[in-house]
Structure 1
Amino acid sequence: MHSFTLPDMNCGHCVAAITEALKAVDAQARIDIDREARTAQVVSALPREALVAALIAAGYTPAPANTPI
């Protein structure tokens, strides 16, 4: 499982855009998003780098690991 902190995620539209971006690169991905905590947990066979690239392309750059929001 890949965990991401997404500081720029703050509304339902953001959640939808993030979900769409991740599903576009892996339709089989299981995605659990916590909007209040600004986190996403993704179960995918893809490498983390591919998921990060999809998030960045959608405008949601993940925070570096262990960085508070």
Structure 2
Amino acid sequence: MYRFEVPGMNCGGCAKKVERAVKAKDASAAFSADLENKRVTVTSSMSQADIAAAIQDAGYPNHVAA
């Protein structure tokens, strides 16, 4: 399970776009978004770097949440 801070994720549409980007790389990934704190949690067989890259490719800079 990986947590990322996604500062540009401001609405449900943003969260869906990030989720679609992650699931395009791993359809079985479990995804949840916390819009209030601008964080996502992903459980996937992908590496943390690959998930971060998918989120970045969707247009959302991100970093690993502490």
Shift of 1:25: 0.5
Question: Equivalents in 2 of 1:40, 1:65: separation in Å?
Answer: 9
Question: Equivalents in 2 of 1:49, 1:13: separation in Å?
Answer: 23
Gaps (5+ residues) in structure 2?
none
CA gap of 1:64–1:44, structure 2 versus 1, over 3 A, is closer
Question: Equivalents in 2 of 1:23, 1:56: separation in Å?
Answer: 14
Could you tell me the TM-score, scaled by structure 2's length?
0.92
Could you tell me the TM-score, scaled by structure 1's length?
0.88
CA RMSD between the two structures: 1.2
Q: Which residue of 2 aligns with 1:41?
A: 41
* AA partner of residue 4 (structure 1): F
The structure with the larger Rg is 1
Q: Is 1:27 aligned to residue 27 of structure 2?
A: yes
Gaps (5+ residues) in structure 1?
none
Q: Which residue of 2 aligns with 1:8?
A: 8
State the aligned residue count: 66
Deviation above 2 Å: which 4+ runs of structure 1?
63-66
CA gap of 1:20–1:60, structure 2 versus 1, over 3 A, is same
Question: Equivalents in 2 of 1:31, 1:64: separation in Å?
Answer: 15
